[in-house]
Amino acid sequence: MRILVTGGTGFIGSNTCVELMKNGHEVIIVDNLYNSKIDVLEKIENITGQMPRFYQTDILDHDGLESVFKIHSFDAVIHFAGYKAVGESVEKPLLYYRNNIAGSINLYEIMHKYQVKKLVFSSSATVYGDDFEVPFKEEYGLGTTTNPYGTTKKMNEMIISDMGYADPEISSVILRYFNPIGADETGLLGEHPNGIPNNLVPYIAQVVSGQRDYLRVWGDDYDTPDGTGVRDYIHVVDLARAHVKAIEYAAEHIGTEVINIGTGKGYSVLEVLHAYEKACGKEIPYKIMDRRPGDIAVCYADTKKAKELLGFEAEYDIDKMCQDSYRFTQNSI
């Protein structure tokens, strides 16, 4: 299939492009390079032997985005493009609503105009909020989000569902990611956050590379085995492979499906830290701090639907995730 990948030079987007190309799909990328670098294109070529077509455009630029649809007739779209920093979204809600909602509506309107009816959307487990018991199940629906970033994911899910009611020929698969970490095994496509990393593993990576003195552990008084927060970490290449399954499923079906993409297993902050120590062969200093506002204690996926509908199961464990993250970090120094 010829697939438009918005946000395709990003951490998850670029790994997904590699897996799509490895499976014989033609990939065309649009990205505004707000949170990624153009050299990712050469890295994709390095891994796959092909350079994907790239257009530096913003989903907020309606004409710029439409011009890509005038050049290429797409079979499907995988929509990653969006701002994703939870903390920043609390400080700058309108920036997030404009970009993640108005930008997405631009895309959906242009897809409608050019009759592109297959969509995979990058959603997040954050839409469950803190309303439900773990493991989180898709049928729980949308919870109470605790930040504008999460709310934009929730609103996109609602918009996509409504699009499906209006046009039953539309086929959308909404993937709710848990915690993507790691890098491809060449160590070329990893996570390079701008500024101080909000997320756990990129921050640990910067402690290991000497950019940070120690990891701040946000709370050790949760109701978990070691008191620290538990999350469902999934290798970014496993997540990328799930997108290949999802877009191929969308090509064969109609309607809207919501699917969790996780491992179904939770790891605590300290378990991840010790796995990273094993991967890098160094002790990683940390300090226990107060809880981070908005954090929940435990979050992990029910993965039955991904297995039943997509035939998807995560392959890689936390050690592989940390090994591949560390290799990327070493390559980036």
Min separation Cβ 196 and ligand WQD, Å: 9
Q: Which is nearer to ligand WQD, 106 or 228 (CB)?
A: 228
Q: At its nearest, how many Å lie between ligand WQD and the CB of residue 115?
A: 30
Which residue has the CB atom at the shortest distance from ligand WQD? Answer: 229
Binding flags for ligand WQD, 19-58, as an x/- string (CB under 6 A): ----------------------------------------
Least Å distance, CB 120 to ligand WQD, is: 15
Per DSSP, what are the bridge partners of residue 136?
301
Site for ligand WQD in 204-233 (CB under 6 A): 215-218, 229, 231
List 29, 107, 200, 208, residue binding ligand WQD (CB under 6 A): 200
From the list 9, 18, 57, the residue with the least C-alpha distance to 244 is: 18
Asked if 149 is an active-site residue, the reply is yes
Which backbone phi and psi does 168 adopt, to 5 degrees? -65, -10
One of 161, 186, 198, 206 touching ligand WQD (CB under 6 A) = 198
Rounded CA separation 255/173 (Å): 8
For ligand WQD, the closer CB: 215 or 306: 215
Task: Answer whether 128's CB lies under 8 Å from 110's CB.
Answer: no
Q: Which of positions 295-314 make contact with ligand WQD (CB under 6 A)?
A: 295
Burial (CB < 10 A; 0-12, 13-18, 19+), residue 230, is buried
Find residue 175's DSSP bridge partners: 122, 259
The CA-based angle 128-132-134, given to 5 degrees, is 95
> Residues 108, 128, 136, 203: which binds ligand WQD (CB under 6 A)?
203
Number of residues that bind ligand WQD (CB under 6 A): 19
Contact positions with ligand WQD (CB under 6 A) in 267-286: 269
Cβ at position 292, least distance to ligand WQD in Å:
5
Where are any strands of DSSP class E within 194-254?
215-218, 230-231, 233-235
Query: Binding to ligand WQD by residue 13, rule CB under 6 A?
Result: no
Tokens of 110: 């242009």
Q: Least separation, in Å, of the C-beta of 92 and ligand WQD? A: 16
Residue whose entry in the numeric block shows the structure tokens 């799509």: 20
Tell me the C-alpha distance between 51 and 257, whole Å: 31
* Cα angle for residues 28, 33, 37 (degrees, 5° grid): 90
Distance of CA 139 to the CA centre of its chain: 21
Between residue 132 and residue 161, which ones bind ligand WQD under the rule CB under 6 A? none
Catalytic residue among 83, 149, 233, 267: 149
Cβ distance to ligand WQD smaller for residue 29 or 270: 270
Q: List C-alpha distances in Å: 295 to 83, 100, 216.
A: 19, 22, 14
CA distance 217 to 224: 14
* Nearest approach, Cβ of residue 61 and ligand WQD (Å): 23
**Binds ligand WQD by CB under 6 A, chosen from 145, 179, 260, 329:** 179
d(CA 52, CA 332): 23
Distance of CA 292 to the CA centre of its chain: 21
Of the two residues 47 and 259, which places its CB atom closer to ligand WQD in the complex?
259
320 lies in the binding site for ligand WQD (CB under 6 A)? no
d(CA 60, CA 71) in angstroms, rounded, equals 19
Residue 223 CB, nearest distance to ligand WQD (Å)?
13
**Active site members:** 149
Q: Would you tell me which residues interact with ligand WQD (CB under 6 A)?
A: 84, 86, 124, 126, 177, 179, 198-200, 203, 215-218, 229, 231, 269, 292, 295
